[in-house]
Amino acid sequence: MYLSPRHAEIIQMAKDHGRVLVDDLATHFNVTPQTIRKDLNDLCDQRLLSRIHGGALFPSGIENLEYEARRKIAADEKEAIGLAAARLIPDNASLFINIGTTTESVSKALLDHTGLMVITNNINVANRMRIYPSIEVVIAGGVVRGSDGGVVGEAAVDFIRQFKVDYAVIGASAIDHDGALLDFDFREVKVAQAIIANARHVILVSDRTKFERTAPVRIGHLSQVNTFITDRCDIPSVRKICQEAEVQLIETSLS
């Protein structure tokens, strides 16, 4: 399949960052937004991208984004979400933190807390928090996933089930408009389900780009969490689920 140099660069940018926006591309290539819209429509017709309002996504159902690239997506929003989650968690609490770039932002925001017991299947979280003497870090055993340092598998599930903690901080690769929480790796999903089942208060942290993505494996449903922290939720069905299930919705862009 022949791609023009601009089309090839757009594909690479989408692959690196997860999505591309019309206005940003128009500025980058010094062309009109109408030209970029035609480019995106052509690439979507070839099923190389998926169209969203104002831009396009690299098809996440085919290839999950590389972990370092995902760190850069909505980085400021993730930081704000992390700070909001940390404010809900008091000193001297026990908590789970699972795999994800947004949950890592929460772990960073928790570093000024004291007396925490943190149980995690995320090597990056453990490595960040272990050097603070006021925080006890317990890491799950199991298979270490090379792509992101996540510990997954049945051994990790069995380990998690030994605990009953005050809080769980979880993420998701995608949130469907019907409230389904989705991910890519069934082994990771099993760990996340065990985390949800063994926490008194579940905090879901996710920026709004997760509403634009899809993934094949179901973690659970939004109604199973107690608090949902995002930068902004413009999906009426999701807001309705939060209201009906008494899920506290915190939007950091409004605070």
Digit-coded pLDDT (tens) for 164-194 = 999 999 999 999 999 999 998 888 899 999 9
Q: Closest Cα to residue 108, out of 134, 84, 88, 79?
A: 79
The yes-or-no verdict on residue 3 having pLDDT over 90 is no
Residue type, 23: D
Q: What is the reported pLDDT for 71? A: 65
The yes-or-no verdict on residue 61 having pLDDT over 70 is no
The yes-or-no verdict on residue 100 having pLDDT over 50 is yes
The yes-or-no verdict on residue 72 having pLDDT over 50 is yes
Higher pLDDT, 145 or 99: 99
Q: What is the reported pLDDT for 83? A: 97
Within 13 A of 8's CA, how many CA atoms are on the CB side? 5
The yes-or-no verdict on residue 202 having pLDDT over 70 is yes
Q: Closest Cα to residue 174, out of 17, 13, 18, 14?
A: 18
Q: pLDDT class for 14, splitting at 50, 70, 90?
A: confident
The SS3 assignment for 150 reads: strand
The yes-or-no verdict on residue 255 having pLDDT over 70 is no
The yes-or-no verdict on residue 75 having pLDDT over 90 is no
Euclidean distance between CA atoms 229 and 12, whole angstroms: 30
**201 beta partners:** 167
Average pLDDT over residues 48-56: 83
The yes-or-no verdict on residue 152 having pLDDT over 60 is yes
Higher pLDDT, 11 or 118: 118
The yes-or-no verdict on residue 156 having pLDDT over 90 is yes
Residues of CATH 1.10.10.10 domain(s) within the chain? 5-59
Average pLDDT over residues 80-98: 97
Q: What is the reported pLDDT for 62? A: 39
Average pLDDT over residues 9-34: 89
Q: What is the reported pLDDT for 201? A: 98
Q: 95 and 129 in contact (C-beta within 8 Å)? A: no
Can you name the CATH fold of 5-59?
Arc Repressor Mutant, subunit A (1.10.10)
Residues of CATH 3.40.50.1360 domain(s) within the chain? 74-254
CATH code of domain 74-254 = 3.40.50.1360
* Average per-residue pLDDT for the chain: 90
Average pLDDT over residues 194-218: 93
Q: What is the reported pLDDT for 63? A: 43
Q: Closest Cα to residue 158, out of 208, 108, 121, 184?
A: 121
Instruction: Determine which of 8-17, 109-118, 232-241 has the lowest per-residue pLDDT on average.
Output: 8-17
